[in-house]
Each structure stands twice: as C-alpha cells, then as structure tokens.
Amino acid sequence: MTDAIIAIVFAVISALVAAFLPKLFNMMPEPWLQDYDFDPKSANFRLAKRLKMNPHGFILIAVIFVSVLIGVWLNRSHFGQFRLFTTLLIILPLYPFSLIVMSDKLNRIIPDQLVLLSASLGLIGLLADILEGNIWFHSESSSLILLANRFAGALVGSGLLILIGFIGRWLSGQEAMGMGDVKFIFACGMISGGIGLIFVFCIAFVVGGVVSVPLLIRKRRRIAREEKMIRESPNPARARRVLEKKKREMNFADDPDYVAFGPFLALGTAAFIIFEPLIHSYYLSDILPSLELIL
C-alpha cells in the first residue's frame, strides 16, 4: 500500500507541474518554433501554433499522470534503496518530451533549446549509473564503461538517423529525415544509453510504421481525388497549375503528407525508461537465451 501511495503522490505532483507546460510553451520566442531560414515577409509565412489548455493542456496532464504513476510503480524498488537520480530520470524527461511532441506535431519543428535540455538530463542518468548502479551492467563496472554507454547511445543513434536519411533521400529524391530528429535522437540516446537505444528504435519504428499506414492510405486517396478533379475540370492544365501553386504557397508545417518522427522517438524513449524493469526481465528470460543459442 505504501508503494501505491508513493506512486500516486509522485503522479499527482508531476501532473500539477504539467499544468504549466502550455504556458511555458506559449512563452517560447517565435524563432524557436520556426525553421532556421524562416522569413516573416514570405508569402507562406504563418505564426507558430501555440498550445491551449483545452485540449492540449489536459491531454499533457493526463499523459504525464499515467506515465509517472506506471513508471514509479514499476520502479518502486528504488525507494527502499533511495535511488533518487534513477527516479528523477523516469520523471524529468517527460516534460521536455511533451513539449517536443507538441511542437513537432503543430509546427514540424523540434526546438534546439528543448533538445539541449533533454540531452542534459542524460547527465542525471550518468550520475544514477555511477552512484546507484545500472541494471544492465555489473555493480563493479567502471565509470568509463557507464560513460561510454551513454555517449554510445547518443552518437550511434545520431549516426543511424543520418544514414537512414541519406538512403531515404537517395531512394526517393526527397528529404527523408530532418536534422531536428538527428539532434533529438542524440538526446534520447543520452537518456536511454546504448543498450536502451536498441529498444527505443524498435518501439519508435514499429509504432511509427503502424501509424504511417493509414496516413499513406489517406495520401493515396487524396491524390486520387485531386487527379479526378483535374480530369473533370473544363481546363485540366489550368487546374493542375492552380493546385501546384497552392502547394507551393503552403507553409511546410501544414503539409498534410509530412509525418513527424520526433513524437515516435519521444514515445520510444519514454516507454523504455518507464518499462525498463520489464524490458530487462524480458531480455534476461527470452532475448538473451535466444542469442546464446544462436551464437
């Protein structure tokens, strides 16, 4: 019962803090929520969208309450050992992650300032590793190994996304991965560590793939409707020029075909730090024996 009360208390306090997130988001300077080369005088310029308490604020409060409640409950063994930094690492990243998700969703931008804040929380993870231990490593592991794990997650994650973006651009001829995602995965890797990054990528790509399927179907249907409208127009050539002009004048943040990957990276990292004990148990009971059998 005591563990349940502690989890509820942490969740309530975290939710109360989350109530201030819309205000913090709306206090961000306009350039933070715009692309680097934005021009207020350009034809397709629009002010960045901001958060409203209803519905954005209430959604963030509910998500953080549930996330902290589950995360603290699953990691309740930390209280008996007073693993303060480990507990903080479960809760604190949820705040910049929430703002990053909303920014990427509304404005197609991941502010560098929030990425830097998220990456700095990896230092809390490093302190937790050194002072309180890491369940993925032996208790006698050196600080250098623990440090290497954190930076390996950051550097390998960024390198992989750069490679994926290069291959995607080569295959499609279009930008496949934004630099905002590359920077953000650096921060995610600092928080999850190199081992955790494997699970972060798995969760992010699986969930992202599932969500992308209906979006691709919607895109195909929209293109089919546009082509039908052009064919049935009295002047198809003019109708196509009007449609293309409308697309050129559209702000990049309003592109209906754009799929923001940042939210999936945030989801994957948050899921890992919340469910890390269960993931670790699954690794020991199922994944590790399979790897030993294969090798």
What pLDDT, on a 0 to 100 scale, did the predictor assign at position 292?
Answer: 75
Q: How confident is the model at residue 294 (pLDDT cuts 50, 70, 90)?
A: confident
* pLDDT tens profile 101-120: 999 989 989 999 999 999 99
Q: Are 223 and 194 in contact (CB under 8 A)?
A: no
Q: Are 24 and 96 in contact (CB under 8 A)?
A: no
241 token code pair: 């020029």
| pTM, full prediction | 0.88
Sequence spans of domains, the chain: 2-294
* pLDDT tens profile 189-242: 999 999 999 999 999 999 998 988 888 888 888 888 888 888 888 888 888 888
- Report the b/e string of 179-211 with b at 16+ CB within 10 A: ebbbbbbbbbbbbbbbbbbbbbbebbbeebeee
What pLDDT, on a 0 to 100 scale, did the predictor assign at position 79?
Answer: 52
Contacts 24+ apart (CB under 8 A), 277-280: 277/74, 277/75, 277/77, 277/135, 278/74, 279/199, 280/135, 280/136
What pLDDT, on a 0 to 100 scale, did the predictor assign at position 39?
Answer: 80
H or E element: which one contains 262?
A: helix 262-282
Q: Determine what percent of the chain is predicted with pLDDT higher than 70.
A: 93
Nearest to 180 by CA among 101, 282, 247, 87: 101
Please give the span between the terminal C-alpha atoms of the chain, in angstroms, as a whole number.
44
DSSP letters spanning 175-212: --S-HHHHHHHHHHHHHHHHHHHHHHHHHHHHHHHHHH
Q: Are 94 and 68 in contact (CB under 8 A)?
A: yes
Distance (Å, rounded) from C-alpha 120 to C-alpha 115? 9
Q: How confident is the model at residue 80 (pLDDT cuts 50, 70, 90)?
A: low
Q: What is the DSSP letter of 53?
A: I
Q: Determine what percent of the chain is predicted with pLDDT higher than 90.
A: 49
Give the chain's mean pLDDT. 87
